[in-house]
Amino acid sequence: MKFGLIFLLIIVLLGACSEQQTPKSYDWQLRTRFPVPQVPENNPMTAEKVELGRHLFYDTRLSFNEKQSCASCHQQQHAFAEPLLTSVGTTGEVHRRNSLALVNVAYNKTLTWAHDQLTTIERQVLIPMFGEQPIELGITGHETSILAKLVADERYQQLFNEAYPNKKVSFELISHALASFVRSLTSFNSRFDAYAYDMQDEALTDSELRGMALFFSEKLECHHCHGGFNFTQSTSHEKQPLDRRPFHNTGLYNVMEEFSYPSKDLGLYEVSLNPRDVGRFRAPALRNIEKTAPYMHDGSISTLEQVVDFYSAGGRHIKQGKFIGDGRENPLKSQFVKGFELNPEEKQDLLNFMKSLTDDSFLTNKKHSNPWDSRK
Amino acid sequence: MIVVLVGCQPKSSSIVLPIQLQLSDAPFNCQSEYIQNEEVWQLSQFQFYLSNPSVVINGETYPLSFVERPWQQKNIALLGEVCGYSSQWLLEFEPIGIALTDATLNFTLGVPFELNHLDPMTQESPLNQSDMFWTWQLGHKFLRLDLQSSQAGWSFHLGSIGCSAPSPLRAPSIPCLQPNTVSVSINNISSNDNLVLDIAPLLSTVTLGKDNQCMSFAKDKSCQLLLPAVGVNSQTSIFRVAL
């Protein structure tokens, strides 16, 4: 007995003398029942990395000409999307695609509009940072000078030290910190969430409830592509690692070219080279959708009302101009886009429901806001 | 004394019954082609939930437990295939101490009501797969068969219909009007047998196309053919023992 006690004491003392510290686990501040997003093993979440990433996200020095930061095309009041049809890079080059809202991106199985192999934010951020076609932040060729600027900044010295103690500042650390910040952008406090997950029956109006019933109905079939807790089937979390490939052709175009979508953007086909993937794009998550107009991969639908009209018609019939064609007849169109009839009241109910997905706390959360004061 | 006796018992292995997906008598997989009216169809996803398994041997009923795996819990298994991603075609049960000889295998194609309408985010696999879930109100898809041709897609999704709840995001408190679960009973099964899952009875009844899909609504013409073929309110024609 006495021997056992001494043994125990030695163990406890050894533990107390240990140099190792268990890292504090990151506080996601999610609802207790919500699963935590999958995080790559080589970039675990810490509050310090998120804070460093936030500074980088809003820092125009990350672009070679200091004219743009990530926040230029991902603006908090627009749920980290922007009100342009397609984005414009730091040299004025126009992107072919619409800026995606950064809402619950942590749960996306794949990133960007149409890529089935881009599965981590760490890998995706390299595109706007280093991409040359088009140039977005334009870091390529200017790596040394940009790093030098950041390293010279006392604030960054402190932030890097806290996030990555004893590590040399590099673009790997920068991209990892940016990924951690984007991963921290979670939004689950809309009135819809209060109804669905807090069981608050009063959180939605009658019109919104009717709209919700329409959204989840087989008549409209929205939930086939925009279903699940994140309103997109492109979702993965720690309890559901099973993989999916939710890219859909919604009948936006049916042009008379080599392919039925305009050659400037063939969607997933460009990555997979599978002809069935022409015009297939990922269904984005719908929280805060009211704030992220214009819509679709090329921003070609301006308002939510027009989005509902588009799905109601079962596709888009373009009657004149460069992209003339009847998207409703696109042979690759998803079998879930069949069109449906809505009377004006039902249409308004549906729109009201979609607007109930807005999470004001996310749009104004200081933790996601610009940390630099105007002095910089 | 007791410890010694237990230590000497031979360990029986789990009960394994492979399921062969077939189109009539031919194997059918993600590479297979089904040609109808000159259109070529291929599988893109075919998954189904099985629950409440048991066997009857010599008049005795033995409840079965699925071996715990990522895609199955004791009482519920999600089997089948998502082409290019995952594939589970084995029925795997914990041993029951006796071998299967001339047994009758019973199970339900579907998810039991008490599990069917819970928030998939709080559920363990395999009840947390969002594309096998409709809504809290309607529950899970018991069977999901998606085919693809170069022109179109076609789907047959089996699940409960007529479930009363205040909204799609509330679970029903009483069973649905049309639960659409299928009780399957397969006779003459022995340990080394394979099961056949034959989709010919499903595909031969309908003209495949986007206008002929079935989401379990009894009013749809396609469902009027598919639901009895799969076994709703009738004897299933898709499960049997391999010869």
pTM of the model: 0.82
Report the residue of chain A nearest B146, measured CA to CA: A335
- Asked whether the beta carbons of residue B130 and residue A240 sit closer than 8 angstroms, the reply is yes
When CB atoms are compared, the residue of B119, B131, B210 closest to A335 is B210
Best of B69, B72, B87, B169 to disrupt the A interface by mutation (most A CBs within 10 Å)?
A: B169
CA of A293 vs chain B CAs: smallest distance (Å): 27
Q: Does the interface predicted TM-score (ipTM) exceed 0.85?
A: no
C-alpha distance from residue B102 to each of A61, B51, B56, B99 (Å): 76, 21, 9, 10
Task: Give the C-alpha separation, A130 to A141, whole Å.
Answer: 9
When CB atoms are compared, the residue of B125, B152, B153 closest to A240 is B125
Report the residue of chain A nearest B209, measured CA to CA: A335
CA of B169 vs chain A CAs: smallest distance (Å): 6
- Asked whether the beta carbons of residue A242 and residue B133 sit closer than 8 angstroms, the reply is no
Residues of A in contact with B145 (CB under 8 A): none
Task: Give the C-alpha separation, A176 to A165, whole Å.
Answer: 14
Q: How many CB pairs under 8 A join A and B?
A: 78
C-alpha distance from residue B19 to each of A43, A315, A376, B150, B237 (Å): 41, 40, 66, 28, 15
Residue A145 gets which letter from DSSP?
H
Residue B113 in contact with residue B175, Cβ under 8 Å? yes
Alpha helices in chain A (DSSP H): 2-17, 47-57, 70-73, 121-124, 126-130, 143-152, 154-163, 171-183, 191-197, 206-215, 269-272, 304-313, 344-355, 360-364
CA of B125 vs chain A CAs: smallest distance (Å): 7
pLDDT of residue A23: 53
Residues of B in contact with A217 (CB under 8 A): 168
When CB atoms are compared, the residue of B82, B121, B137 closest to A35 is B121
Burial (CB count <10 Å: 0-12, 13-18, 19+), residue A230: buried
pLDDT by residue for chain B (243 residues), tens only, comes to 444 444 433 335 889 999 999 999 999 999 999 999 999 999 999 999 999 999 999 999 999 999 999 999 999 999 999 988 889 999 999 999 999 999 999 999 999 999 999 988 788 889 988 789 888 999 999 999 999 887 778 999 999 999 999 999 999 999 999 999 999 999 999 999 999 999 999 999 899 987 899 999 989 999 999 999 999 999 999 999 998
Is A87 within 8 Å of chain B by CB?
Answer: no
pLDDT of residue B200: 96
- Asked whether the beta carbons of residue A244 and residue B82 sit closer than 8 angstroms, the reply is yes
B102 phi-psi bin (left φ>0, alpha ψ -120 to 50, beta other)? left
List of residues 6+ apart from B6 with CB closer than 8 A: none
Residue B180 in contact with residue B215, Cβ under 8 Å? no
When CB atoms are compared, the residue of B131, B151, B168 closest to A244 is B131
Burial (CB count <10 Å: 0-12, 13-18, 19+), residue A7: exposed
Is B135 within 8 Å of chain A by CB?
Answer: yes
Is B13 within 8 Å of chain A by CB?
Answer: no
When CB atoms are compared, the residue of A233, A243, A335 closest to B213 is A335
Q: Which parts of chain A register pLDDT below 50? A: 7-22, 238-243, 375-376
pLDDT of residue B153: 83
When CB atoms are compared, the residue of A197, A227, A243 closest to B130 is A227
- Asked whether the beta carbons of residue B167 and residue A213 sit closer than 8 angstroms, the reply is yes
pLDDT of residue A24: 64
Residues of A in contact with B215 (CB under 8 A): 218
Task: Give the C-alpha separation, A174 to A178, whole Å.
Answer: 6
CA dihedral A370, A374, A375, A376 (to 10 degrees): 50
CA of A218 vs chain B CAs: smallest distance (Å): 8
pLDDT of residue A237: 52
One-letter amino acid at A322 equals K
Task: Give the C-alpha separation, A44 to A36, whole Å.
Answer: 12
Is A371 within 8 Å of chain B by CB?
Answer: no
| Token pair 């009007």: residue | B177
Residues of A in contact with B160 (CB under 8 A): none
CA of A232 vs chain B CAs: smallest distance (Å): 9
Task: Give the C-alpha separation, B172 to B87, whole Å.
Answer: 32
- Asked whether the beta carbons of residue A209 and residue B167 sit closer than 8 angstroms, the reply is yes
Residues of B in contact with A246 (CB under 8 A): 131
Is B73 within 8 Å of chain A by CB?
Answer: no
pLDDT of residue B152: 79
Is B169 within 8 Å of chain A by CB?
Answer: yes
Is A213 within 8 Å of chain B by CB?
Answer: yes
Residue A211 gets which letter from DSSP?
H
Task: Give the C-alpha separation, B66 to A239, whole Å.
Answer: 20
When CB atoms are compared, the residue of B82, B121, B150 closest to A229 is B121
List of residues 6+ apart from A235 with CB closer than 8 A: A107, A108, A109, A228, A229, A244, A285, B130
pLDDT of residue A142: 97
pLDDT of residue B116: 97
CA of B36 vs chain A CAs: smallest distance (Å): 17
How many helices and strands (H and E) does chain A possess? 14, 4
Is A328 within 8 Å of chain B by CB?
Answer: no
